Amino acid sequence: MRYLTNPCTDPHRNMAFDEFCLEQLPLDEPVFYLWRNRPSVIIGLNQNAYGEVNLPFLEEQGIVLARRVTGGGAVYHDLQNLNYTIVGRSADLERDYPGYLHFFCDALRKLGVPAELSGRNDILVDGRKVSGYAKRVWHDRLMVHGTLLYDVDLDTLTRALSVPGSKMDASGIASVPSRVANLKKLLPQFPDLDALQAALQEMLAAGDGEILLSAGQQAEIDRIAREKFATREWNLGRSPQTTFQRCSKYPCGTVEARFTVIRGILTELQFGGDFLGNRPTDELAAALTGCSYDPAAIQARIEAAGPGRYFDGLDAATLTDLICHL
């Protein structure tokens, strides 16, 4: 199978690379490419970022959030995870779809890994997930892409995908928790992921050549990344409705915040508790309603309203932390 080379590790550009290849790459036959992302969480097209991802942890650790164009659940990537994509005409790929998935299983088996397909969308080894895949049809084209866990930081993976317990309800498609495992110990013949990637590249290409993208095509991928996949509107704004409840104790008393976020906008905010203050909190709630669910934007509105008028001694940063650090 002919292949593309994609050395980029920027998750937003790599999502754009996938979309470009699906929608714009001239195709006479299926092509594939192997690629990696720096630390990132990639959520499915229909998922709710607020209900799927530990966003404060991502911010603290500098982990990128990206939304892909395929369905399925949230996954954690780092540079020890290898991704694969196959793009082709849908009639050809749908006919050969099981074969392409077996293609990756067979490649792992040839390398000594007892891999098998699950009934859903995973590749398993001894009952543990080492790869997940998703697909998307666009007109007469089909894209299949997935992951291979080599030596991923599983502790960071768990923390990044562990949603804090304050959530009451999250609409959208929820991830199915899976027991995952790395492949490194099962592939002792490879000193590192670079060596494994090179071996898989050679095996999957089977002597076929590389397809080179022009400078114009690369520029188009950059544009798609910049104008779509790197935007807050795409990554957070598409999130369906999510309802939250937070409660904390301060010198002024206990403060509860109950609110809904719809496509990245704060709505239906109510404050409750036994706190002391001079003015009804409905005024502050009204001032925050319609605000982008972004800590900087929320803190700016709280500061403008004067939080001490509603909660004795409570400053804007503390109240913002209550609302945003879920």
- Residues with Cβ < 8 Å from 26, sequence gap 6 or more? none
What confidence score (pLDDT) does residue 242 get? 75
Higher pLDDT, 268 or 326: 268
Report DSSP letters for 150-217, one per residue: SS--HHHHHHHT---TTEEEE-SPPP----B--SGGG-TT-SSHHHHHHHHHHHHHTT--BPPPPHHH
What confidence score (pLDDT) does residue 175 get? 52
Q: How would CATH label the architecture of 242-324?
A: 2-Layer Sandwich (3.30)
Going from N- to C-terminal start, the domains of the chain cover: 2-237, 242-324
How does the average pLDDT of the chain come out, rounded?
A: 87
Higher pLDDT, 24 or 102: 24
What confidence score (pLDDT) does residue 220 get? 98
Q: What is the C-alpha separation between 93 and 133, in angstroms, rounded? A: 14
What pLDDT band is residue 93 in, cutting at 50, 70 and 90?
A: low
Tens digit of pLDDT for each residue in 226-240?
999 999 889 987 776
What pLDDT band is residue 170 in, cutting at 50, 70 and 90?
A: very low
Task: Indicate whether 241 pLDDT > 80.
Answer: no
The mean per-residue pLDDT over the stretch 299-324 comes to 92
Tens digit of pLDDT for each residue in 190-208?
999 999 999 999 998 999 9
Q: What is the C-alpha separation between 48 and 264, in angstroms, rounded? A: 10
Tens digit of pLDDT for each residue in 25-37?
998 889 999 999 9
What confidence score (pLDDT) does residue 12 get? 98
Task: Indicate whether 178 pLDDT > 80.
Answer: no
User: Fold match between 2-237 and 242-324?
Assistant: no
The mean per-residue pLDDT over the stretch 102-113 comes to 84
What's the fold here for domain 2-237? BirA Bifunctional Protein; domain 2 (3.30.930)
What pLDDT band is residue 182 in, cutting at 50, 70 and 90?
A: very high
